[in-house]
Structure 1
Amino acid sequence: MAAPSSMDTITEPARTLPVYGEFDVVVVGGGPAGLAASVSAVRRGARTLLVERYGFLGGMGTAGGVTNFAGLYGRRNGEMRQVVHGVVDDLLDRIDALGGLNDPQDGMQGRIRVRSYDVSAYKCAADQLLLASGVQMLFHAWAAAVVMEGPRIAALVVETKSGRQAIRADKFIDCSGDADVAHFAGVPFELGDGHGSALFPTTMFRVGHVEAARAMAAVGEFSAINKLMDETQAQHPGRYNFPRKGAIVRPQKNPSEWRVNVTQIRNTQGQAMDATDARQLSEGEQEGRRQIGEYFRFLKNEVPGFEQAAIVDIAAQVGIRETRRICGAYSLSGEDILSSARFEDVIGINAWPMEMHVDGEIVWRFPRDDARAFNDLPWRMLVAKEVDNLLVAGRCASMSHEGQSAARASGGCFVMGQAAGTAAALLDAGAAFSATDVDRLQQCLKQDGACFER
């Protein structure tokens, strides 16, 4: 292959960066993992900065328009109960106090339970939680690079409206969703399913002015919307082009407003859009909105109660389910989900089943043991290889493609984030995370409300 011409690359001149600040712990990403990590770290005495690319917190739950917490509840001996506790309880209480938390909603014949919320209430509650805890926040800042000193990250480089800056810290936690910091630091990773695709992304949207009683009668049952889609296609072939099977159309706190999860974003090769590719991400945003317009036409024309409906919100960005996953000290597998795996180094519980967004549909796989329909999450899945002072929490932690389809849900991300932040505060300055006292970590997590069995 020929060497790149001057038209293909440019050389950026070296420059000296101002230091934004020095901290004990820097957390990148303000989704469930980052929220829990930063709050846990500061509550255990660490000077903590949370870096967030948007001007608000919540990750895919706000920017991606997900509008519900999944994986907080699991089945034990046939009874559904909340099994993820800790920082998330404080957040739920604050959302509820703002009038933005819905009652639990069951689906899949009672095998899953979610809590939907108002997006604005979530944003405000997250601000309240971090400010009350003493977390410092830097919004509108994008992780761009790291400065390494041997096997340690010495500084994080961020792009801001004040220009490119550096942030020094003793410990870093990557909750970016895409493992951006880990990638910059040279941590090995896997991308998607390893065959050029991944769990397919979705652009979420919300519909208002719904006649609630008629809509609930028509599609209140979890699977009813999909039966109606099948009937419509049988009666009117070609009238609508549905992005995928397995639509999720559910009411919000206000029953006249419904959330819609149905789009599926492909690239030009027909595989899942790669959200680490700038061109694909840009094209995918447009494709998601095109699909929304097409599906909304079906809702208005064919679904009772939606005749006078209007789109009230399209998510700020396409909802990403999977990109990079680090190769850590342990990789959570699909079999771990199905076998309700237990680990000695447990840090909390994943209660969400395998939810595989494959081409054209969603494939669900549930734990085989209904008496314990959830699995442990091990500490080792957060520990990055080759970088001493970095933990990775959230959907980019160390998991297989199949394992990540379950533990990427918000419940598991809250668990991983709380464990990462607590561990970062407990670890002595200059030490490596591989030296973490797991027994002490587990004791502290229990003291702080986390739920798991040893």
Structure 2
Amino acid sequence: MPSPSFVTEPARTLPVYGEFDVVVIGGGPAGLAASVSAASHGARTLLVERYGFLGGMGTAGGVTNFAGLYGRKNGEMRQVVHGVVDDLLARLDALGGLNQPQDGMAGRIRVRSYDVSAYKCAADQMLVASGVQLLFHAWAAAVLMDGQAITALVVETKSGRQAIRARRFIDCSGDADVAHFAGVPFELGDGHGSALFPSTMFRVGHVDAGPALAAVGEFKAINDLMAQSEARQPGRYQFPRKGAILRPQKNPAEWRANVTQIRNAAGTAMDATDARQLSEGELEGRRQITEYFRFLKNEVPGFADSAIIDIAPQVGIRETRRICGAYMLTGEDILSSARFADVIGINAWPMEMHVDGAISWGFPRDENRAYNDLPWRMLVTREVDNLLVAGRCASMAHEGQSAARASGGCFVMGQAAGTAAARLEEGAAFAATDVARLQQVLLDDGVYFDR
């Protein structure tokens, strides 16, 4: 590859899009919860989203289910993530887009699938009802700083490059873009040149539901069919990984497929912060989909007359930058069902490590409390006074992030961040937040702590 060349961009004066109390960057679960919570507590709030719709990986990445809302307590599976997400679930249900809970892993996990289009509409309704202002098709490009505070966010839009002023910012970008621009230290992936491998999601329609449900109604069944096919016909299919997740949607004639695994030229996980790798990964994901779909039609009961009805708008990213904040959630915190004095809510998803060629799971050791607290400190940076980071790019070690990156934990982080941003005293730093007061407000707003 030729050596990089450079050009100099002339300085220019930017128009100010607006001035706000709170600006949230990214409209996934964390960003939805953050913006709704901030606006609900009286802050003039703007949500900046690079697509023309909300939902993050749940829509743009084609995930199609909420993971981590449910956890086992004293042997019983129950919903342990509450608050803003309850409003979203109710709106989804009213639109006819919410499925009943689906259990897997011998009853150790429970997910809630939804219709992607309904999710987009329900999210719109929720934010508009809360008074959140929305700026779609805008990409965070830089920040302007005054000492240890961000004074403005620079965004690229179809109206050109603009600046947005605010008193407080919440980075829910997934890639810690804003924190990175502001100089907050971070870790990228697993620290050894790889990360949780990404996947391009797709949906299959026109499935004969009866035979399909009988053949692959359990999570493990599709893996068995893949292994049997490999044993009978070595080399006929190139499976990108050993484990697959193939599940019916609300309409059992439509199924979601989570089967791909995107590598770069070096054989490690594609780095979604690298523009070249991201572009190559989009091509590779669709190549793997066509290969895997050939297996579905030829080998899996109920799929002979099926068709691919949707490929996600982008490759699904599990891990890129993770900030190094006031506390980093660890894998041991997940396995030990950790409790924290500065708890802001619950993570109920186990460690889900998408490693080279496979998925490795790590469940909490205490089956009577198979979930852990999430601490306030994982949202707080040491370097920037008026910035919080929530979602998959919050302060977590590689193993801890494999669990808390799920949508349940992201809703929790976002609600705490938005609530704190709206209620923080003028001129105060987030590091000085009265955590006990914040916790009481979160409890009053329906968040569950398991105290």
Which TM-score band (shorter chain)? over 0.9
Give the Cα–Cα distance (whole angstroms) in 2 for the partners of residues 386 and 124 of structure 1: 37
Residue identity in the other structure for 1:409: A
Q: Does 1:395 align with 2:398?
A: no
Question: How do 1:237-256 residues align onto structure 2 when only pairs under 5 Å count?
Answer: 237-256=234-253
SS in 2 for 1:145: strand
1:356 corresponds to? 353
SS in 1 for 2:388: strand
Unaligned runs of 5+ in 1: none
1:453, CA displacement in angstroms?
3.1
2:64 corresponds to? 67
SS in 2 for 1:17: coil
1:56, CA displacement in angstroms?
0.1
1:285 corresponds to? 282
Give the alignment partner of residue 385 of structure 1, picking from 373, 376, 382: 382
SS in 2 for 1:355: strand
Give the Cα–Cα distance (whole angstroms) in 1 for the partners of residues 425 and 48 of structure 2: 23
Give the Cα–Cα distance (whole angstroms) in 2 for the partners of residues 419 and 35 of structure 1: 12
1:441, CA displacement in angstroms?
0.2
Residue identity in the other structure for 1:407: A
SS in 2 for 1:316: coil
Residue identity in the other structure for 2:47: L
Unaligned runs of 5+ in 2: none
1:234, CA displacement in angstroms?
0.2
Give the Cα–Cα distance (whole angstroms) in 1 for the partners of residues 144 and 332 of structure 2: 37
2:443 corresponds to? 446
1:53 corresponds to? 50
Residue identity in the other structure for 2:219: F
Residue identity in the other structure for 2:366: D
Quote the sequence identity (%).
Answer: 84
Give the alignment partner of residue 82 of structure 2, picking from 76, 81, 85: 85
Per-residue Cα deviation, 1:4-53 (whole angstroms, up to 9, x for no partner): 99x70000000000000000000000000000000000000100000000
2:299 corresponds to? 302
Per-residue Cα deviation, 1:321-343 (whole angstroms, up to 9, x for no partner): 00000000000000000000000
1:119 corresponds to? 116
Give the Cα–Cα distance (whole angstroms) in 1 for the partners of residues 227 and 142 of structure 2: 48
Residue identity in the other structure for 1:99: G
SS in 1 for 2:418: helix
Taking structure 2 as the reference length, the TM-score comes to 0.99
SS in 1 for 2:353: strand
2:97 corresponds to? 100
SS in 1 for 2:77: strand
Residue identity in the other structure for 1:402: E
SS in 2 for 1:55: coil
**Aligned residues of 1:188 and 1:385 also touching (Cα < 8 A):** no
Question: Aligned pairs, how many?
Answer: 450
Per-residue Cα deviation, 1:191-223 (whole angstroms, up to 9, x for no partner): 000011000000000000000011001111121
1:431 corresponds to? 428
Give the Cα–Cα distance (whole angstroms) in 1 for the partners of residues 53 and 350 of structure 2: 29
Per-residue Cα deviation, 1:357-412 (whole angstroms, up to 9, x for no partner): 00000000100000100000000000012100000000000000000000000000
1:406 corresponds to? 403
1:448, CA displacement in angstroms?
0.4
Residue identity in the other structure for 1:332: L
1:148 corresponds to? 145
Residue identity in the other structure for 2:226: M
Give the Cα–Cα distance (whole angstroms) in 2 for the partners of residues 77 and 435 of structure 1: 36
2:214 corresponds to? 217
1:431, CA displacement in angstroms?
1.1
Give the alignment partner of residue 268 of structure 2, picking from 258, 267, 271: 271
**Aligned residues of 1:41 and 1:48 also touching (Cα < 8 A):** yes
1:430, CA displacement in angstroms?
1.7
Give the Cα–Cα distance (whole angstroms) in 2 for the partners of residues 54 and 265 of structure 1: 22
Give the alignment partner of residue 179 of structure 2, picking from 172, 179, 182: 182
Give the Cα–Cα distance (whole angstroms) in 2 for the partners of residues 103 and 374 of structure 1: 21
SS in 2 for 1:223: helix
Give the Cα–Cα distance (whole angstroms) in 1 for the partners of residues 10 and 219 of structure 2: 56
Give the Cα–Cα distance (whole angstroms) in 2 for the partners of residues 188 and 229 of structure 1: 42
Taking structure 1 as the reference length, the TM-score comes to 0.98
Question: How do 1:294-333 residues align onto structure 2 when only pairs under 5 Å count?
Answer: 294-333=291-330
1:76 corresponds to? 73
Structure 1 stretches of at least 4 aligned residues deviating more than 2 Å after TM superposition: none
**Aligned residues of 2:344 and 2:373 also touching (Cα < 8 A):** yes
